[in-house]
């Protein structure tokens, strides 16, 4: 017990010293390369793709296949959590949180719920213009459902609707990728007109994919919270 602690602390000390030494050779707040991949992204995004937010362009367009994998990992996490925790069908009201909130809490959450959903939708529709995007918007929507699930003891979300929304969003993502392939190029090739910078309808396939990702992430995380919250020991 004592020995293990000493061992771990000495190991961490060695690791920390090496990490510190390696990092302090980098200059903080300075560019490391004269001509890096950063410059290519920063010039190509507003010139060719007509997208204002460069991070969105990297996540959806330049590294779009990674995003498909990421969404798949999130889907697998939801599925694994549901199958690990499965104990049979739940009855209504058989919930970890068995009581409703007070009148103030329920009225306040009913008041806030549409505003939170609207904020989430705004964040993922404007993902290519302002900070935000599909993942952030989806998480905000899941937070709104979490608020309702915590406030009301008998609030329930239909699993069928969630899986239909999730599947449709996933199919949209894959179909757009395949359409790019049909259009004569690689998977997730940009085939729509780009428009002009800082317009809502600009950026080719980026807004469509990010809206699909927003629906998919929102449905997945809502399902995950619902599974965990319905878990009764």
Q: Which is nearer to another protein, 206 or 217 (CB)?
A: 217
CA dihedral for 104, 141, 90, 81, sign (positive or negative)? negative
Q: What's the closest the beta carbon of residue 2 comes to another protein, in angstroms?
A: 11
Q: Which is nearer to another protein, 117 or 146 (CB)?
A: 146
- 57 contact partners, CB below 8 Å, separation of at least 6: 41, 45, 49, 51, 128, 203, 206
Is residue 46 a contact point for another protein (CB under 8 A)?
yes
Q: Which is nearer to another protein, 70 or 181 (CB)?
A: 70
SS3 assignment, position 181: helix
Burial of 36 (0-12, 13-18, 19+ CB in 10 A): exposed
| Owner of token pair 């004569």 | 184
- 133 contact partners, CB below 8 Å, separation of at least 6: 53, 55, 56, 59, 60, 123, 124, 127, 210, 213, 214
Q: Could you tell me if 101 and 151 are in contact, meaning their C-beta atoms sit under 8 angstroms apart?
A: yes
User: Could you give the CA distance from residue 104 to residue 115 in angstroms, rounded to a whole number?
Assistant: 17
Q: Which is nearer to another protein, 33 or 182 (CB)?
A: 33
Q: What's the closest the beta carbon of residue 67 comes to another protein, in angstroms?
A: 8
Site string for another protein, 184-213 (x = CB under 8 A): -------------xx---------------
Is residue 24 a contact point for another protein (CB under 8 A)?
yes
Q: What's the closest the beta carbon of residue 61 comes to another protein, in angstroms?
A: 11
Is residue 117 a contact point for another protein (CB under 8 A)?
no
SS3 assignment, position 103: helix
Q: What's the closest the beta carbon of residue 182 comes to another protein, in angstroms?
A: 27
Neighbours of 155 (CB within 10 A): 16
Q: Which residues here bind another protein, judged by CB under 8 A?
A: 4-5, 8-9, 12, 15-16, 19-20, 23-24, 26-31, 36-39, 41-43, 45-47, 52-56, 58-59, 63, 66-67, 70, 73-74, 76-78, 80-81, 84-85, 96, 123, 130-133, 135-136, 139-140, 142-143, 146, 197-198, 217, 221, 224-225, 228-229, 231, 233
């Amino acid at each position: 017990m004592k020995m293990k602690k000493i061992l771990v602390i000495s190991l961490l000390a060695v690791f920390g010293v090496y990490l510190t030494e390696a990092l302090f050779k980098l200059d903080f707040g300075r560019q490391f390369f004269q001509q890096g991949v950063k410059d290519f992204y920063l010039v190509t995004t507003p010139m060719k793709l007509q997208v204002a937010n460069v991070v969105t362009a990297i996540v959806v367009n330049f590294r779009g296949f990674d995003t498909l994998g990421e969404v798949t990992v999130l889907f697998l996490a939801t599925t694994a959590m549901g199958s690990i925790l499965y104990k049979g069908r739940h009855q209504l009201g058989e919930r970890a949180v068995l009581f409703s909130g007070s009148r103030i809490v329920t009225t306040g959450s009913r008041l806030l719920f549409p505003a939170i959903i609207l904020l989430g939708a705004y964040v993922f529709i404007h993902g290519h213009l302002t900070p935000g995007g599909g993942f952030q918007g989806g998480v905000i929507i899941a937070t709104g459902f979490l608020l309702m699930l915590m406030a009301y003891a008998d609030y329930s979300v239909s699993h069928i609707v969630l899986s239909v929304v999730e599947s449709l969003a996933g199919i949209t993502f894959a179909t757009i990728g395949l359409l790019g392939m049909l259009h004569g190029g690689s998977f997730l090739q940009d085939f729509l007109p780009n428009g002009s910078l800082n317009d809502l309808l600009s950026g080719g396939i980026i807004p469509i994919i990010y809206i699909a990702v927003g629906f998919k992430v929102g449905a997945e995380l809502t399902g995950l919270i619902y599974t965990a919250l319905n878990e009764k020991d």
